[in-house]
Every structure is written in structure tokens, then in C-alpha cells.
Chain A
Amino acid sequence: MITYSRLLIHLVMIAGVWLAALPVAHAEADISELGDISELRDQQHYIDAEKQSNPLDFLDVYDPLEPMNKRIYAFNRVFDEYIFLPALSGYRFVFPQFVRNRFQDFWANIGEIPNIYNSLFQLKIEKTAVSSWRLVINTTVGVLGLWDPATKWFELERAKEDFGQTLGHWGVGAGPFLVLPIVGPSNLRDTTGLVTDYVAEREIDFLGVKEAESNDDTGGWLLKGFDALNQRDINQFRYGMLGSPFEYNKVRYLFNQQRELLIAE
């Protein structure tokens, strides 16, 4: 609980710092154009001033599909509350933390494949080597990836790279913001990355998992379900957790910032 909360503290604090820093950045610039805010006492003055200048540009994440995105966002919230989270509770009830950690390590190991080729595509040789070693060690010593001795014993930290990051690395911009059904916030670049990685992972089909997952039979659906539940288990985001009437704007902004950080790193 305390580790979780400490992690959350810092996630939220950093989130707060980002969220905070940006808007004010512009709010401030705005205020300077308008004069002291305390002098602005009548409402019409506010509105007129706003119409003239538009200095809070950073909040304007390019979002031409906003009406549709917002609808999908609302759908995701409801889906999360009534389907995903109850399923997650069941998942957590049935499988103790120890077992869930094995699942987590297993899927993470399968996920080394995109880490490797995307590091390579970005000519990050050290990362490519680290991810390759991780895959070799965890698949063998770690029993098909159920454990993660690469981190524990060899201090080879997991370095996540996806095709969206690769595109970003070579200068591709984020493009329009997109909210994907169930998956959540994304943008055109990262959605392209997501699809590319999906196809590539299926082609490579490490340990036969992705092929099995795509089967339209009980096993395939079970695997898909486990994959999704594992991801929801790791993801600590909860709709409404910001308790703000501007959650969509904050999430939208924060998502892009977080992606930029990952690309820069």
C-alpha cells in the first residue's frame, strides 16, 4: 500500500507539476498582456480580453476530433467502471500478487521483442543489447519469462521502446490527438506505432503467444483477456482520480508530455 501510494504521490506530483507549469506558463503570459488580474473586475472585460488574445496555446493539443474523442472518452470511463474494473477485482481476487507478478513478467518478456527492434531502429545500440540480453536471460533462466532475473541478478533494467517512440525519435510529430476505444489516449503517430508493433509482434510470434492470442477460440479469448487484465492491473490510472472538471484536458496534455519524455529519453 505504501509503495503504491508513494509511487502515486510522485506520479501525481509530477503530473501536477507538469499540468501546473504549463498552463500557468501561458496564463502568466496572458496576465501580463492583460495587466494585473486584480484589476479585471468586470466580467465583460474578461470575455473581451479572452477573445482578443489566445495565449494558453499549450493547452491546445491538436485535437480536431475532440467531439468524437470526448464521446469515446466517456464510453471508456463507463466501460472501465462497469466492466474493466469489476473484472480486475475478480482477477485480483483469484490470483494473489505473487501469481500476478509472474503474469506481469511473462507479458513483459514477450514485450521485449518490440523493445529490441525499436531500440535498433533508433540506433540505440546499448539499449538493443540490454533488451536482447534480457530476452535471452529471462526466457531461459527466468523460465519462459515467468521471472525477471535480468533485473534482479544482472541489473539489466527494462527499457521500453515502441514504434511510436521510433517515429518520434526520427522527428515524426504527434499528429491529432486520438482517444481509442478501451485503450485510451493516443495520437496519430502512436496509434500508427501501436498497429505496427501489433503486426510485427504477430509476424515474429515469439513463443507462439501472439498467434495463439489472435485465435478466435476459447484459448485465444482467454489469452486476450489475460493480456488486457494484466495491463489494467499495472496501469494505476482511474477515471475521476484527478477530481477535476477538466480531466479530459489534463489527461490529453499529460499524455503527450509523457510521450515526449519517453521519446527524448
Chain B
Amino acid sequence: MRYLLSIVSTLLVTLTGWTTTAAAYDYPIKNPYEATVVGTPPADVYQWDEPRKVKAKTMTVNMGKDVSEINLAGVFGLADMKLLHAKNEGPAPLIFVIAGTGAAYNSPKVLFLLDTFYQAGFHVITISSPTKPPFMAAASSTHMPGLTNYDAEDLYAVMKAALEKVSGDIEITKKYVTGYSLGGIDSAFVGHLDKQRKEINFDKVLMINPPVNLYTSVSNLDGLIPEYRKRNPGTSGEKIFSDVFTRLATYFKESGGGVKFGPETLYEIQKSDQALPMDDVAVLIGISFLFSSADLAFTSDALNHSGWIIPANENYSPTSSQSTYWYKRSLRWQFLDYFEKMVIPWWQERHPGDSKEDIIQKVSLYAIEDYLRNDPSVGVMTNQDDIILGPGDIEYLQDVMGNRAKIYPTGGHCGNMDYKDNVAYMLDFFKN
């Protein structure tokens, strides 16, 4: 009888174990582009039992950059770098959150991470992406964002300055760093740098949906617009836009609730008759990436006086009535144009003999492979269908990071970040 019992219980354990591991991942949006744009439906977002209201404060650090010499003050404001700081009561771990390409310290995804880690009991400090113009002006030593090794130095300096500022105010038990998208790879480069410098001593590092090969990721995103045009010859961008616009207007008219954007609006639109076709959703991602690229190319050009967008003999003034002209010029700059024209020459001046391929290697995850392979404190969470990854990238992460690589089947690029399973994984990663 006892024998029988033990067989049954073993069977039960095996069965439960089996159901747990085989429990389907139910993130509801299967198309990676739609997931990227729509995110997680409100009903499937991770829920806290008793969420507290976050009181995040804006704090500033001054990295001593002289931004007055460039006539951009009217655009960027002061030389102070803005960060968000949320503190918990008593001793707690501190986590730095680094934003993705073109995103600020207070952008929606960053605020979501701030809220999540605050609810988990951590102190949180959020930092803009080094690709964000205010960061480029106030904290970048190169004004050439996207070079992850240099960006890591700037981020590290900002983090040290921030730590110094809050040290009297909060009690820190452990130190973590995370980031999503470009902020993901940034956090690993920061972790790697910290291993050499040992000035902060991070206990854990989590990359969320990072690029593996930066060039692949950027090419994928840049490519969305030309690919769309190949599939839809003759469709002007203007038509895409007016379609999107008409759909929004029709949706709001039919819904009868006025023009309101709530947490579920995008999801509701995609469920309605006015849902955008997948092709349009994909090109919208490309378009919004172009927007970030244009901003950063312009800012880099202005700060480095490289003369590509603002010719050396012309004066740019933020109050001039020519801003539309400059904007139009900047919008011709996809990320790869910026990389080819501004970044490569800049790099080669400092590292003679490096080919384009060498540069790509040195700013991608390959450059810190030993660290990723051997350091148990660094992990990655990403998706099989992430649109910024190329063939072999998932296998690379699995090979290098083993069970520290958490790969979900769906979610696109960061679409499932706030999905319940994903949040549970992130919290577990830092807490255990």
C-alpha cells in the first residue's frame, strides 16, 4: 500500500511538474509587430495585490558639460540631466532602469518598470537612453550615441553621480541595473564596465529584449519602411497616414465616448472594425524609429559640428523660422545613414585601422561575450519573435547564457514586458 502510495505520489508530482513546465505561455497577441505596438491587454498585465501609489521625484545631476557654446539651449533647456527617483522606506535594493532607443527617463515603458520595481520594494532611479537628445547634450562625452562601449562610460558616470546624490537619503542593500531594447544592451555594457572599475559593484544585471548584433537590429528597424514600399508599390506614405487617421476618427465616432485614450484604447481599436492592417502596424514601427533616428542624427550633427545636416557655414538657431526645413532634412536620416556617415568616420579617427565590421563587433554583445558567459549575475529576457533579432541570435543567447537566458515564444519587441509571466520572471530574477 505504501508502495502504491509512493508510486501515485511520484506520478502526481511528475504530472504536476509536467503540467507546470508545459503550461502554455498565454500572451494573447501572436503577431510580433502588433505585440510591439499594442503591448499587453490590460486584463493580462501583472496585478499587485495592494499596489501603492509611487511618489517618484525628478532629480538632476550635472555632468559638467558646457552646452552653452552650442546654440541649442532653447531646445534642450539646461545642462542638468533629469532622472526619476522613487524611494522605498527603510533599507532596500536600488535598481537603475535604462530607457530604450529614443526614450526618456519618464517614458511609458520606463515608468512601468519604475512602478514594478517600486512595488517590489526597491529604490528605483531611471535614466534616459543615451540616444535621447537631452542625454546627448548634458551627459554624453562623444555626442555619438549608439556606441555602446562609450555610452556605458557616460551612463556609469551618471549613475555614480546619482548614487552620490541619493546616498544620504536612502539605505541601499544591493545594486541592480536593467534596461529594455537598446537600454538592455547598455545595462550589460555597464555591468561589464563595472566589473573592471568596481566603483558601483552591481549585484545583478538584467537585459530585456536587447539587440545581440546592433547592426542587425538597426537594419531590421530601418528596413520596415522600404519593405513596406516593396510590398505596396505606389502606396504613398501620405496614404498610410490618412488611413490611420481616418480609422482613429471613425473608431472614436462609432465608440461614442469622445476622443479619449485610455489604457485599452489601442487594444480596443485593434479588436474593432477599424483595426490597422498588420502591414501598416509594421510600417508605423519603422516610422517611429525614423523619428528617433532623425532627432539623434540632428542633435549629434549639431553638437559635433559635423556639417552633415547643418552645413558648417550656416547658423542654426532654435528660434529661427527655419525649423521645419531642418526637421525635413533630418528626417532623411535613417539610423544606418547616421552610422555610415557620422559614426564610422568618427570611430576610425580614434581607432585607425578598424573596419566597419570591427566596429559592429565592438559595440554588439559579442564584445562582452566572456562576461556574459561566465558571470552568473547577468541575465536576459527576450522573445523568440523579437523583430530586432536576426537569424541565430536566440541560439547565440542560449549558447552563451544558458539557463540565464529566458526566451518567451511570443511578445515581439518588448510587447510582453508587462505581461504577468514576464513581470513574475523579472521579479524572481532579482529577488532570488
Residues of A within 8 A of B (CB): 1-3, 5-14, 16-32, 36-38, 40-41, 43, 46-47, 50, 56, 58-60, 66-67, 70-71, 74, 157-160, 239-241, 243-249, 257-258, 260-262, 264-265
B258 touches A25 (CB 8 A): no
Name the one of A1, A19, A28, A56 contacting B225, with C-beta atoms under 8 angstroms.
A28
Give chain A's interface secondary structure class. Answer: helix
Of the stretches B320-328, B366-374, B376-384, the one at the interface is B320-328
Write out the residue numbers on chain A whose beta carbons fall within 8 Å of the beta carbon of B341. Answer: 41
A74 touches B263 (CB 8 A): no
Nearest A residue to B116 via CB reads A2
**Nearest-CB distance from A126 to chain B (Å)?**
9
**Within 8 Å of chain A (Cβ to Cβ): is B337?**
yes
**Within 8 Å of chain A (Cβ to Cβ): is B107?**
yes
Most buried by B among A6, A26, A260: A6
**Nearest-CB distance from A147 to chain B (Å)?**
20
A248 to B37, CA, bound (A): 25
Write out the residue numbers on chain B whose beta carbons fall within 8 Å of the beta carbon of A31. Answer: 332
**Nearest-CB distance from B346 to chain A (Å)?**
16
Give chain B's interface secondary structure class. Answer: helix
Of the stretches B4-12, B61-69, B203-211, B232-240, the one at the interface is B232-240
What are 15 A-B residue pairs whose CB atoms fall within 8 Å in the complex? A1-B111, A2-B54, A6-B262, A10-B265, A17-B284, A25-B239, A28-B236, A29-B236, A47-B311, A58-B238, A58-B241, A66-B323, A245-B76, A246-B295, A261-B249
Range of interface residues on chain B? 35 or more
Nearest A residue to B137 via CB reads A245
Residues of B within 8 A of A (CB): 37, 39, 42, 51, 53-56, 72, 74-77, 104, 106-109, 111-112, 115, 128, 132-134, 225-226, 229, 236-242, 244-245, 248-249, 252-253, 256-259, 261-263, 265-266, 283-284, 286-288, 290-291, 294-295, 298-299, 302, 307-308, 311, 318-321, 323-332, 334, 336-337, 341
A257 touches B245 (CB 8 A): yes
Nearest A residue to B42 via CB reads A6
**With A43-B307, A67-B319, A265-B253 as contacts: A245 and B244 at CB distance below 8 Å:** no
Write out the residue numbers on chain A whose beta carbons fall within 8 Å of the beta carbon of B294. Answer: 246
A24 touches B236 (CB 8 A): no
Nearest B residue to A49 via CB reads B332
Name the one of A19, A28, A157, A239 contacting B229, with C-beta atoms under 8 angstroms.
A28
